[in-house]
Structure 1
Amino acid sequence: MFSATDRLPAELTSFVGREAELAGLAGLLRAGRLVTVTGPGGVGKTRLALRAAAAAAHRFADGVRLVEVGAVQDPLLLGHAVLEALRLTDSTARPPEDVLVEQLADRELLIVLDSCEHLVAPCAELVATLLRAAPGLRVLATSRETLRVPGEHRMPVSPLPVSTPDGAPAEAVRLFADRAAAVLPGFELTDRNLAEVTQLCRRLDGIPLAVELAAGRLRALSVEQIALRLNDRFRLLTGGDRSTPERHQTLRTTIGWSHELCTPQERLTWARLSVFSGSFDLESAEYVCVGDGLAAEELLDLIGELIGKSVLLREEGELGVRYRLLDTLREYGAQWLRATGEEYRLRCRHRDWYLGMAGWGEVEWFGPRQQETAERTRLAHPNLRTALEFCLAEPGEEQLALLLAGTLWFYWVGSGHLGEGRHWLDRALALAPEPTEARAKALWVTGYMATLQGDLVRARPALAECHRQALETGDDRALAYAVHRQGCAALIGDELGRATELFEDALWHYDAIGELNSNVLMAMFELGVAYLFQGETESGLHWLERVRETCEEHGEQWAYAYGLYAMAYSNWTAGELRTARAHARECVRLNHLFRDLLGVVLALDMLAVLETEGPAPDLYEARVLQGAAHRIWRAVGKPFFGSSSFTGPYRTCEERTREGLTEQEFGEAFGLGAALDLDQVAARVLGREPVEPPRNGPSPAAERLRGSVPTAGQRE
């Protein structure tokens, strides 16, 4: 179960005022299932919505989730972004909207869709679909315009009041004072400055973002100087009309004035940082922004100055400090970047950084930093999308699109994003038909992902083309991967003998070119499984021992987890039930950390059949686990890939539970399991009675077999 607010960002500054709006929004959230907070940019829609969502979180059994729509530019990726924000990992080829309908049908959840204005129509369509399908769902949206969905409640947000009838400091004035104290310690409202601050806030129309930007200037200017310079700026931009300007003009004027009061280097940094989507770290900013008038040693201080002026936000997480621009300020910076003529160059540098990041991620995926790599890539996901979109939209960049989408195979596969990965690869392959190394890689990655989804109709032609191209061009690496993934297709197609030959051939090719990484380990695992399914236990255990040894030597955990599943299967068939449970549970634990649904569900089916074994079987729990596995398989693709070879544990478990439970218990337990989400089922499995952890050394049977089977590298 989701905790109430574990997916809402922490408030970085104090929340000032808005008591009436919060009360009204709380009432609307109780009365309606869709509430849209509307208002101009900078008025505080997001802050208000998040505060209201946090206050209402206790009413939702499955908590609250924030979806940052502003970071999504492609309407086709909106559903994927929602899935990712909700941590509803899905690896199927189904449209993400269909997956959301299924996953949210029985949830009691509040979703905050933030900054919908640039995707109003797709957001409206998705929200309408989800609300019809999920009666326990409520949506709180923020947008500069309403979604126009039936049943929508609109909550317009106005700027903060500047004055009160009794002469007490109004909300806008209190906000200015609060933010001023943050940049100028000791600042407080007094009888001497209250009138000046009030007048300044009035000139800013009480728009929170404008007030915060003005307060950020207090480190260099007095309140009187800020007001004087702002008034001069208004005269310049409004043709001397001192009457209250339109609010959007007020905000734009305030941002422009704040921009002009920045130093030339700060303005340049602001413009260059606008190429980032979502958050970014210092290293990425240094690579993208430094040079051509901006020195590396200046950047950190410039970022600090922009934070102090409320232009940049600073966020701190497990992987360190990150920064982000508010959408309104990013838009302004992007306009200036275009005006400087630097946009194309900066977007190329942005693309290059994230291409390099993907490359390093692929390398570091084989080693002890796999989980850190997965998290770093997750944080970079909005920027990776931006880089991919740039490559696909810019003529001449198609090969880089293939390379970037293909290099990210470890994230698409290992963190449960097969559907989105295929989206990018299909687009890139359609644009770049010429036979290149990048296309070969994209083909085997596409074939691999389609195979994992049980989609052999798409997988086999892609892998055959990769194989053919590799032979024609002499690309030995592509040939090794094509043969390997053709082995995967044969394995789930129940061609076990052919699969064994292909895996052995692939491992020989890998050895010949000196390739050793997680893919090679997976080939060993898959060969071991193919042998086990054919009853050749000695050969199977040999290859699983190779997986274990290599993983322990290099600190690899992802392929290791799959090896644990195969060992659990072997333990089960040998009657080593306690060891089988330990292996299967550790497989669930590791794959849950990676959000790898396939690894979780394979181990879950093993744990289900193990509940039917031993002197005290728990048939009801076994059927619960089968129900949970059924739900996860729906998010992976075809159950058991459509393969009969992988269904042995499931069939045994189903037969035993059907015989041992009443018809009511049989259906009831399955329904209970099917209602569990990924986090709930992991907690259920890992929270049961303690068992011995997987032994560090090989099992006795495997120890006897060590060295008894020749390796692929020893093949003639």
Structure 2
Amino acid sequence: MRRSNLPAELNRFVGRDDELAELERLLGEFRLVTVTGMGGVGKSRLAARAASTAEKRYCDGVRLVELAPLRDPELLEQALLDALGLTDHTRRPPREVLAEHLAGRRLLLVLDGFEHLVDDLAGLVRELLRRSPGLAVLAAARRPLRLDGEAVMPLAPLPDDDAVRLFTDRAAAVAPGLRPAPEDAGAVRELCRRLDGIPLAVELAAGRLPVLSVEQMLHRLDDRFRLLTGGVRGAPPRHRTLRTAIGWSHELCTPRERLVWARLSVFAGPFDLDAVEYVCGGPDLPPDEVLDVLAGLVAQSVVHREETPAGVRYRMLDTVRAYGAEWLTALDDEERMRRRHRDWYMGLASWCELEWFSPRQAEVAACADSALPNLRAALELCLEAPDEAHLAQHLAATLWFSWVGCGRLAEGRHWLDRAVRSDPRPGSRHDEARLRALWVLGYVAVLQGDDTAAMAALYECGEGAARTGNALAGAYTTHRLGCLALLSDDMPRAEELLSRALIAYRELGELNSQVLMGQVELAMTKVFLGDLESAVALCREVREICQDRGERWTRAYALYVLAYAAWTRGEHGEARELLGECIAIDHAFNDLVGLVLAIELLALVTAGEGDPAEAAVLQGAAAPMWEAVGLPLFGSGYFGAPRALCERQAGEALGAERFRSCLAEGGALPKDEAVARALAGRRPVDGVPSPRGRGARAGLTRRSRRTAR
């Protein structure tokens, strides 16, 4: 994991030397510091700059959590887990996972834009600070958290000189050939003074320079002050100034730019051009003309463009978005636009699910991650109306690839539970959506080790499938029950259910990543029953299909089984090569289940190659991952056999003391470093015998059977 997830600065940081020094001083004396101030005053930018400067103080780095797009307080802990790069498949409360992770670390957590969540966030921050002595929190919002020990730093607007510097710097960026002339210095200073030195207002004014001179801006600003300053009763003068500056910039937009500004307010978090064209386009604005309008808003700093792993994305500052939302309400178009937004992201989710079974899997993962705030907004809208619960069920189920394949089980469980509870009536005309949500819920619950919830959801799904004649839902139910039996060490039942599900899939013509995963799960079952030949044949077929389709996620699990079989034949080189590809894929998709199983098997291969010390290090590196996956779920019985045998071999070769030391070395490795170490492929140590052929196979088989018993 990178030491910091702070975004790169897109333009020059201007002024604030005294404030930065004061903020650094406060961070040295207090564990909780909150920068407060009105919208647009520069709280987020100052906090990010101070965090970047202070990063060297925190050996475990700095993590930024942007909370402005989040609307559901129940996802607060999940937002922090995401920012920390933590994945947890267990049923432990997310707050407990956070506290355990932070307890022994020295880390700076930056929380930004939480005004609407302050009450819920305050309790979480209090508990994390109490349980994590090395944790410091730097917060930026319009309101403080009001906790004991909190140092509050109110942020004032820029002084005149810094405001002028900011205007000049931004003007040079938007209009290099139209910089204010020296004789305009007085007018620029007056303009910045009229804008009260509010950075957002100054930047918006600089964005008008290609269209208006400084003198023209001053005259127009006079007009807007007379029109708007009295429009917000009870608002502080500077709040009225910001509103005036935004309103003035709004007034100077073309009618189409104002229309798109209002419509863009329905987006939460980043959005792409395709989404804007669909959501904001219409008879009054053809989609093929949206790009030019959006470019105009970017040029005026109303919308910001950024590069992301998913490609080019756009976003609006929360203050600017809120202004657009007021206009959308005034236009009486909010409900229609929210529904268009919802419809686009339901379509995007369906596209992602289809493309998941293709060479675009990595692109789909990045796209879904970038779209997550907007997908949440779409789910919330579906859940607001009881008669649209089926849409929430459909969307939550469609996103199974993100919940399961990209390490978001806890969030998936949250939405699936809510969607299923929102319409508990069976027998409606929307049975298909509900049945789909039920078997996906059962799948997620199985992977979380919640057997009771899994059985309840799958039992209801099976009954509903039989009642409605939905053979596909019945096949998925049988599949997930087989998966539950596999993880419960009931191999004969797992073999029977998984075989039956695969027959049903073939009869129905169903082929996708989940179907192939069922074939891999059947292969695992056969491995544990001692039928290696059948297991290898099943996984070779999966690998070939994945090769043809460009599918990588399921391919990784097939490689794991093939590597397991190669190890039992004493073919360590082949096993290492297979596991290397498997680990790289699992790490790319943040699939901790596949990753930890592969690393533990690689540890056993490494011990067999004659390097017990490195095997113990890899074994130790797997331990923190098991905490997130849930050791009792995948770590006992048949799945635990490689760990038990590696522990025996490496422990005997190294001795108890050195074995424990190597385990501790591996346990201290961050996940990224552990993966890099696993992929490095160290050479065997001379002089240590390597078990080969039948001896290796027999040792594992006997051990796995003893462990299972």
TM-score, with length taken from structure 2 = 0.92
Cα 1:196/1:387, change in 2 over 3 Å: same
The one of 119, 135, 138 equivalent to 1:137 is 135
- 2: distance between equivalents of 1:306 and 1:33? 39
Deviation at 1:587, TM superposition (A): 1.3
**SS at 1:396's partner residue?**
helix
User: Which residue of structure 1 lines up, in the alignment, with residue 104 of structure 2?
Assistant: 106
Asked if residue 396 in structure 1 is aligned to residue 394 in structure 2, the reply is no
1:293 aligns with 2:284: yes
Q: 1:673 aligns with which of 659, 666, 672?
A: 666
Give yes or no for contact 2:229–2:244 (8 Å, CA) kept in 1. no
Q: CA deviation at 1:189?
A: 4.6
Structure 2, unmatched stretches of 5+, are: 685-692, 695-709
Moved more, 312-321 or 592-601: 312-321
| 1:689–1:665 distance in 2 versus 1, CA, 3 Å | closer
The farther-off stretch of 444-453 and 147-156 is 147-156
Paired position in structure 1 for 2:451: 456
User: What secondary structure, in the 3-state scheme, does the structure 1 residue paired with 2:10 have?
Assistant: coil
Aligned residue pairs: how many?
680
Partner of 1:336: 327
C-alpha distance in 1 between matches for 2:94 and 2:363 = 26
* Equivalent of residue 680 in structure 2, options 674, 687, 694: 687
Contact 1:33 1:137 in 2 (8 A): yes
Which of the numbers 149, 159, 164 marks the counterpart of 2:157? Answer: 159
User: Is the contact made by 2:523 and 2:536 (CA closer than 8 Å) also made in structure 1?
Assistant: yes
1:282 aligns with 2:273: yes
- Give the whole-Å Cα distance in 1 for the aligned partners of 2:166 and 2:653: 67
Contact 2:439 2:477 in 1 (8 A): yes
Separation in structure 1 between the aligned mates of residue 538 and residue 346 of structure 2, nearest angstrom:
34
Where does residue 509 of structure 1 map in the other structure?
Answer: 504
CA contact (8 A) 1:66 1:114 kept: yes
**How much does 1:553 deviate?**
1.4
Could you tell me whether the CA contact under 8 Å between 1:452 and 1:637 is conserved in 2? no
Q: Distance between the aligned counterparts of 2:679 and 2:671, measured in 1? A: 12
Deviation at 1:654, TM superposition (A): 2.6
Distance 1:239 1:631 in 2: 59
CA deviation map 1:251-278 (0-9, x unaligned): 1121122112212111110010011111
Does residue 412 of structure 1 match 2:403? yes
Give the distance between the partners of 2:632 and 2:668, measured in 1 at CA.
17
* Distance (whole Å) between structure 2 residues aligned to residue 665 and residue 35 of structure 1: 44
Q: Is 1:383 matched up with 2:374?
A: yes
Q: What is the CA distance between 1:131 and its match in structure 2? A: 2.2
TM-score by length of 1: 0.92
SS in 1 for 2:438: helix
What is the match of residue 2 of structure 1? Answer: 2
**TM alignment of 1:422-433, pairs within 5 A:** 422-433=413-424
Q: Structure 1 stretches of 5 or more lacking a match?
A: 163-169, 692-699, 702-716
Which region of structure 1 is more displaced relative to structure 2, 596-605 or 221-230? 221-230
| Aligned residue in 2 for 1:83 | 81
Within a 5 Å distance, the mapping from 1:705-716 to structure 2 comes to none
Q: Given the alignment, which residue of 50, 55, 59 partners 2:48?
A: 50
SS of the equivalent of 1:142 reads strand
1:562 equivalent to 2:562? Answer: no
Q: 1:528-574 deviations in whole A, cap 9, x for unaligned?
A: 11011001112111111111111111111100100111112212222
CA distance in 1, matches of 2:276, 2:317: 16
Whole-angstrom CA distance in 2 between matches of 1:629 and 1:245: 55
From 220, 225, 242, the counterpart of 1:251: 242
Of 474, 487, 511, the match for 2:482 = 487
- Matches of 1:690 and 1:52 in 2, distance apart? 44
* Correspondence for 1:165: none
1:213-260 CA-to-partner distances (Å, cap 9, x unmatched) read 11222222221121111112212233599xx96111111121122112
Cα displacement (A) at 1:456: 1.2
Q: Distance in 2 between matches of 1:369 and 1:240?
A: 51
The answer to whether structure 1 residue 628 and structure 2 residue 638 are counterparts is no
Q: CA distance change for structure 1 residues 642 and 588 in 2, over 3 Å: closer, same or farther?
A: closer
- Work out whether 1:586 is the aligned partner of 2:577: no
Native 8 Å contact 1:480 1:509 kept in 2: yes
One-letter code of the match for 1:477? Answer: L
Contact 1:450-1:459 at 8 Å conserved across structures: yes
CA contact (8 A) 1:37 1:155 kept: yes
Q: Relative to structure 2, which stretch is displaced further, 105-114 or 265-274?
A: 105-114
Aligned equivalents of 2:131, 2:667: Cα separation in 1: 17
One-letter identity of the residue aligned with 1:646: F
Alpha-carbon offset, residue 95 of structure 1 = 1.9
Query: For 1:70-128, what per-residue CA distance to the aligned partner results, in whole angstroms no more than 9, with x for missing partners?
Result: 01111111111111122112222222221111222233322211112111122222222
CA distance in 2, matches of 1:672, 1:226: 63
Runs of 4+ in 1 over 6 A off after TM superposition: none
**In structure 2, distance between residues paired with 1:33 and 1:684:** 34
Structure 2 CA distance for aligned equivalents of residues 304 and 80 of structure 1:
34
Q: Give the percent of matched residue pairs that are identical in Structure 1 and Structure 2.
A: 55
- The residue that corresponds to 1:617 in the other structure is 611
**Letter of the structure 1 residue corresponding to residue 611 of structure 2:** P
CA 1:229–1:245: 2 relative to 1, 3 Å: farther
